[in-house]
Chains A and B, each alone.
Chain A
Amino acid sequence: MNGRGRWKYALLQMKRGVKVMPRILGMTLVLGLLISLFGWQMIKSRMSDEGNSRVKIGVVGDVESQLYLRMGLYYLQNLDESQFSMEFIQMTEEEAQEALMGAKLQAYVVIPDGFEEAVGSYADDKPLRYVATEGAVGIGSVLSGEIADAVSTLLSESQNSIYGMQTYLRERTDLSEYELALLGDEMIVRYAQMAAAREELFEIELIGKKDELSIIGYFIAAAIVLFLMMWGVCACPLYAEAKNSAGAGALESLLTARGIRPIWQVLGETAGYLTVTFLSVLLVWVVLFAVVRVAGFDLRELGMWNDLDFLKIFLAMIPMMLMFASLQFLIIEASGQLFGSMLAILLGTVLLGYLGGCFYPISYFPVFMQNIAPWMPSGAAREYFGECMLGRFDVRGFVYMMAVFMLATLVSILLRRKKVGA
């Protein structure tokens, strides 16, 4: 019975997994949707709170002696369009670089000396220098949108101020309407010339780690990791309920009596669990492929991928599936109860998701948490998958995940042996 029996048991567990897969996948997608909606609501409500989610921008340069620049920053700090999303902090360039690399700033702007004079002469221009890390490029595009909104408001308010100036002059001087109109036109033209004369309003300088994921790429990697972790919550009934039923232990006892020892039982059941996980992730990946190729979803990293790369990256996810499946299996084996297992996996998902940087980019966290993240299963998997998306192989992450898989499986086997009494 032995050799063939082990394979038969593994195949039966895989068959069992395929049968229950649609139910588990449906539950996972519903759970994921609910958590996403909840998370989106929380983020939306937090973003409307003053000072909670403001993007910190460093300002380097002599602002105090440049009146209009000071006024411009004041407007940006206080306009409705920008006051809740941006915070400008004056600092030296050394301080700004250190803060940027330590993730205390999203970016900084360097204002060159003589910036106002250059604007006023509009024959010469000295561009602002906008400095960010490559990984914050996604934030930069969001930031640019915010600034564009604020500047367009600034422009329209500048126009209002020109008309306001005309009204003031009309009331307090003897200038004729014709002279006032000429004056108004001249002010508008000079204003437009100042803007048009500037060939480059700012140049972007990117420093720090090159070839990082874009923000969207980062969150795709994080979402895949969260999916694999949440999967366990819905896959629990496949195993935990069976252990809690009237047949609890009977199958394990009979298998042991017939020569399929605990090690082969656990490996066979893990094979079944992995089959379900593999097929479900494959389905999700195919949908993502369709969305990218058919709908033309724009993601910077995808520009590097051909169709074969999609397959390679999917296969590269196998170590992640092995690691999370073995950890979830261990929790179920240790708990032996349906609700206990589900709760433990759900709490683990939330905690590991947070510590591993799956809910917020890890660069937003303090340095010590950034150091912890790669040692969390979630952080290691996210980084590993992020490297895969960039076409690189993360050896450290791979070794980590395989080590966790083997350790978790070993502990499951020991627990099963203890339960059976073998």
Chain B
Amino acid sequence: MIEVHDIWKAYGRKRVLEGASFSAIDGECVAILGGNGSGKSTLLSIMAGVQKADQGAFVVNGVEVLGNDEARRSMVGYVPQGTPLIEELTARDNLRLWYSKEQMERELSGGNLSMLGIGEFLKTPVKALSGGMKKRLSLACSITGDPQILLLDEACASLDLVGKEQLLEYFQRHKARGGIIVMATHDTQELSICDRFYMIRDHHLEPYFYNEDPRQLAKDLEMAK
């Protein structure tokens, strides 16, 4: 289980988050919605330890992990927006940054890397990979150690339908194994696997009722700006 308590963040005088709080239980997927620049990515990056909150707490299975990098890294996997890959190197080289040799062999022969189909293009330079392959590889780089909690920042952005389906299938399996997913998105296909929804309005995180109507969602996002 995770609990986010009262996260505040400002960049100088510019307020971003004011008292953001939510929780999630094992096997649940939480969606964080909001317009561009609303603070979705900031919230995830604080939870991932990339940025520091001005105040607040992030508790995982009863352990406060903000400021406790070792505990956080073993329990939380972060998939940032974009592709965190070195384009000139092969997929294998990129994975070697995050996995030891033994870990990689283990994961390729039945673990996460095998589930994501990474073995197909291990020796290919990243710049020669398709968008879908890059996204799968990015995800693979972020989930070393098979963390229970995944923080996904628009994980399926710029993917075609097939690419999205492949990733969403992996996320469903992660949930089924008791994993927790927190995803920042406004993609309706990604929202289809989410169980609870929150929207950032005027720097505040509020529960949101999503009725699977994309037009209503678009209107609400517009109003939230």
The interface-forming segment of A175-183, A242-250, A356-364 is A242-250
* Distance of A20 Cα from B87 Cα, bound (Å): 11
* Distance of A9 Cα from B93 Cα, bound (Å): 10
**Does B60 interact with chain A (Cβ within 8 Å)?**
no
Neighbouring A residues of B86 by C-beta, 8 Å: 12-13, 16, 242, 251
* Distance of A13 Cα from B93 Cα, bound (Å): 11
Q: How many A-B residue pairs have CB under 8 A?
A: 81
**Does A90 interact with chain B (Cβ within 8 Å)?**
no
Contact of A249 among B51, B73, B82 (CB under 8 A): B82
**Cβ-defined contact, B97 with A12, below 8 A:** yes
B residues 116-155 near A (Cβ < 8 Å) are 138, 141-142, 144
* Distance of A256 Cα from B97 Cα, bound (Å): 13
**Cβ-defined contact, B97 with A257, below 8 A:** no
B residues 57-74 near A (Cβ < 8 Å) are 69, 73
**Cβ-defined contact, B98 with A258, below 8 A:** yes
**Cβ-defined contact, A12 with B89, below 8 A:** yes
Contact of B141 among A9, A13, A254 (CB under 8 A): A254
The interface-forming segment of B28-36, B42-50, B162-170, B182-190 is B42-50
Residues of B within 8 A of A (CB-CB), count: 30
* Distance of A304 Cα from B89 Cα, bound (Å): 44
Neighbouring B residues of A8 by C-beta, 8 Å: 96-97
**Does B158 interact with chain A (Cβ within 8 Å)?**
yes
**Does A286 interact with chain B (Cβ within 8 Å)?**
no
**Does A259 interact with chain B (Cβ within 8 Å)?**
yes
**Cβ-defined contact, B97 with A16, below 8 A:** no
**Cβ-defined contact, A246 with B158, below 8 A:** yes
**Cβ-defined contact, A9 with B97, below 8 A:** yes
**Cβ-defined contact, A253 with B73, below 8 A:** no
Interface string of A245-285 (1 = CB under 8 A from B): 11111110111111100000000000000000000000000
Contact of A247 among B85, B89, B93 (CB under 8 A): B85
**Cβ-defined contact, B96 with A253, below 8 A:** no
Neighbouring B residues of A251 by C-beta, 8 Å: 84-86
Contact flag A12-B93 (CB < 8 Å), given A420-B50, A421-B45, A422-B50: yes
Interface residues, chain A, CB within 8 Å of chain B? Answer: 1, 5, 8-9, 12-13, 15-16, 19-20, 242, 245-251, 253-259, 420-422
Interface residues, chain B, CB within 8 Å of chain A? Answer: 42, 45, 48-52, 69, 73, 78, 80-89, 93-94, 96-98, 138, 141-142, 144, 158
Taking A16-B88, A254-B84 as known contacts, 7 extra A-B pairs with beta carbons closer than 8 A to each other, sorted by chain A number, are A1-B98, A8-B96, A15-B93, A19-B89, A247-B82, A254-B78, A254-B80
